[in-house]
Chains A and B, each alone.
Chain A
Amino acid sequence: MIELGIVDIREIIRLIKAHYDFDFSSCSLTSFKYRLEHVIAKNNLNNAESLFRKLTDEPDFFDTFLHQLCVPSTEMFRDPSVWRWLRESYFPSLDEKHLMNFKIWLPYCVSGGELYSLAILLKEINLLNKVKIFASSFSNESIKNIKAGVYPFKKSEVSVENYRRFQGDTDLSDYFKREKYNVVRDTSLLKNVEFIKDDITFNNAPNNIKLILMRNVMIYFNPAHQEKILQKVHDSLSAYGNLIIGLKEQIKTNHNIHGLFEAVELNESVYKRKIV
């Protein structure tokens, strides 16, 4: 695999900002570098130079680039206990009044693993038709792929195992069709999903959200950008709305921006918007 130098990376960031007004300077450098190398390999490019050229000469490529650059969720029902908590503690605690106009937001969808997991969970507790889900992506290609629901069969094994640990109603394979080397997810699960094309600072965030599922998204950004994201997330939550982040992501509630949230269930990284 081609390894990029720091100078190449800075140049790519500068070029993208100039051409496409997308600022990657706030990414975690190690992850960003690793993903850039992945994009270079995936497009059979030889070096940073050829990526510069492709980004400059082919404006249509940028959308694909964004899709390939973002880290997909590699499994459905990752951390089964979080999903069990949603099913057994969170949703049962909501009464009819809470469930009126109930909106859920998933920022930064790439492969749709979290989105489909959520839809399956909601279907199994008979809430799928009663809630509205917003799913944001940086690229149209991500949205197209999520809607098509096609996924390599080999990669579905972990998800099947996770779902078993989640102890869902059935077998995960009931939610997809096998087609040769792929599986095709049951796309009817996404009937009530509204897709949003967003940018790196979540400027198109929806409002009055009751639950935000943003697990393992902040890890790809530096601490300053994490604060910007948390501010946006806070603004988009309704009073007492909940935020779930990744198990190894942290909100330091003694910090000024992080302090906009308080912990609800630390074992599963669940927070809520603090009312000040």
Chain B
Amino acid sequence: MNYKAVIIGGSAGSFQIVTRILNSLDPSFPLPILLCLHRLKHVRSGFVEALSLKSKIPIFEPFDKDQLKTGCAYLAPSNYHMFIELANRISLSADESVNHSRPSIDLSFITAANAYREKLIGIILSGANRDGALGLKKVGDNGGVTIVQDPTESEVKTMPESALQHTKVDYVYSSDQIVKFLLKL
């Protein structure tokens, strides 16, 4: 299967596994990685730097209309929604929060699912609210691959459990299995 992108959503308790994923991949990774993680709105910087410490691939906090490249990770900037356009570009939006979240994982996942259809891999990690459940469902409905971090392993279960309630996912994986899956791409 020729995938076009991986999108990862997470909130409370997801930092370690995201770090681990980024540390396991190298710049030859064949896809762009979109990261939509809940973060403090008034803290502008520091997050990319913290994630970059152990990452082997470059991580960007994209500007509006930036073009996505393989082997790079794109972290949704604070206080913006990150939309994925058909032309492999990012569009940012300062629209209302959704589920008290901006960036909203649902909106990133839904726009990515519309842009990449069956060529998208969506992963929901540990988190403390229900954001991402509708987005992952959309990934599945459009024929993409859906993965949820095993709730028994997740630091905070609400987000993975809520995703599992909303959609029949392809895989419930531990962090080891998620990394292994990505390395095989």
Nearest A-chain residue to B61, judged by Cβ: A248
Mark contacts of A235-257 with chain B using CB atoms, 8 A cut-off: 1 yes-contact digit, 0 otherwise.
Answer: 00000000000111110000000
Is A31 in contact with B63, judged by CB distance below 8 angstroms? no
Is A220 in contact with B65, judged by CB distance below 8 angstroms? no
Mark contacts of A209-248 with chain B using CB atoms, 8 A cut-off: 1 yes-contact digit, 0 otherwise.
Answer: 0000000101110110010000000000000000000111
| In the complex, A182 has a CB within 8 A of chain B | no
Is A220 in contact with B93, judged by CB distance below 8 angstroms? yes
- For chain B, the count of residues having a C-beta within 8 Å of the partner chain is 24
| CA of A31 to CA of B114, assembled, Å | 13
Mark contacts of A59-89 with chain B using CB atoms, 8 A cut-off: 1 yes-contact digit, 0 otherwise.
Answer: 0000000000001111000111100000000
Nearest B-chain residue to A249, judged by Cβ: B64
Interface hits, A139-170 → B, CB 8 Å: 161-162, 165
Residues of the A chain whose Cβ atoms lie less than 8 Å from the Cβ of B97: 74
| In the complex, B77 has a CB within 8 A of chain A | yes
Residues of the B chain whose Cβ atoms lie less than 8 Å from the Cβ of A93: none
CB of B78, distance to nearest CB on chain A (Å)? 9
CB of B42, distance to nearest CB on chain A (Å)? 7
| CA of A29 to CA of B70, assembled, Å | 23
Is B95 in contact with A31, judged by CB distance below 8 angstroms? yes
| CA of A137 to CA of B65, assembled, Å | 24
Residue from A79, A219, A222 within 8 A of B93 (CB atoms): A219
| CA of A89 to CA of B44, assembled, Å | 20
- B1-9, B81-89, B147-155 - interface stretch: B81-89
Chain B residues near A (Cβ < 8 Å) = 42, 44, 61-65, 77, 79-80, 83-86, 91-97, 107, 111, 114
